[in-house]
């Protein structure tokens, strides 16, 4: 009787130990298999401005309200136009800073006079809600110096960016966190 019990116990122990080894193996193997694919620094999400179609998903799909996506202005590409497609609503009768003329729904763009006939347009990121209307205006009628970027200071770096999942043009992807931005440059 006693002997029989011992055999029974040792069989159990064998199954247990075999199971232990079986489940421990993948855990040991995983870092080895992935050793070439591990990066110590990690990734951040960013919009490729060349793929972006200003569909307006950035405004509504970010887990943050308001969105962590902000309009960025590359001043070196800007034409400093008086008749700015990014600032003025299409079909306005007068070129002025009057509210009814502004394209931006939150009045996040400030227009300041530089010298005849140039005006500087500055984005107030606190007001910007990433609707992309100005970006589309600047793309269609101007130099394309306005573009959307994920502000890394605000972004909470979700495991999967919920804007990326909904982005119709696949413009948002993970990039190494050494770079963090995909700036639009003058070619």
Footprint on residues 37-76 left by other proteins (CB under 8 A): 37-44, 51, 53, 55, 57, 63-65, 72-76
The three-class DSSP label of residue 182 is coil
Could you tell me which residues come within 8 angstroms of residue 172 by beta carbon, excluding any fewer than 6 positions away?
A: 45, 46, 47, 48, 150, 161, 163, 164
Asked whether 98 and 85 are in contact (CB, 8 A), the reply is no
Q: Is 8 or 98 the residue whose CB approaches other proteins more closely?
A: 8
| Dihedral (CA of 72, 74, 77, 82) sign | positive
Phi first, then psi, for residue 84 (nearest 5°) are -95, 125
Number of shown-chain residues binding other proteins (CB under 8 A): 72
Q: Which is nearer to other proteins, 51 or 89 (CB)?
A: 51
| 3 DSSP 8-state letter | H
Q: In the complex, what is the shortest distance from the CB of residue 88 to other proteins, in angstroms, rounded to a whole number?
A: 15
Q: Which stretch binds other proteins (CB under 8 A): 88-96, 102-110, 127-135, 169-177?
A: 169-177
| Contact stretch for other proteins (CB under 8 A) within 19-27, 87-95, 103-111, 127-135 | 19-27
For the four alpha carbons of 62, 68, 71 and 76, in that order, the dihedral sign comes to negative
Binding mask 86-105 vs other proteins (x if CB under 8 A, - otherwise)?
--------------------
Cβ atoms within 10 A of the Cβ of 152, count? 14
Q: Which stretch binds other proteins (CB under 8 A): 86-94, 96-104, 127-135, 136-144?
A: 136-144
- Least distance CB 77 / other proteins (angstroms): 8
């Amino acid at each position: 009787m006693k002997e029989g019990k011992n055999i029974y116990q040792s069989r159990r122990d064998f199954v247990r130990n075999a199971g232990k080894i079986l489940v421990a193996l993948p855990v040991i193997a995983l870092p080895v298999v992935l050793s070439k694919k591990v990066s110590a620094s990690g990734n951040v999400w960013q919009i490729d401005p060349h793929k972006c179609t200003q569909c307006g998903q950035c405004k509504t799909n970010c887990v943050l309200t308001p969105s962590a996506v902000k309009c960025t202005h590359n001043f070196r590409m800007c034409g400093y136009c008086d008749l700015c497609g990014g600032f003025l609503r299409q079909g306005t009768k007068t070129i002025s800073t009057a509210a009814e003329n502004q394209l931006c729904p939150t009045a996040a763009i400030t227009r300041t006079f530089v010298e005849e006939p140039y005006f500087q347009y500055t984005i107030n990121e606190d007001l910007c809600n990433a609707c992309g209307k100005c970006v589309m205006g600047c793309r269609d009628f101007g130099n394309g110096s306005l573009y959307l970027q994920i502000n890394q200071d605000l972004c909470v770096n979700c495991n999967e960016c919920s804007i990326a999942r909904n982005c119709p043009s696949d413009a948002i992807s993970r990039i190494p966190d050494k770079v963090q931005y995909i700036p639009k440059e003058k070619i």
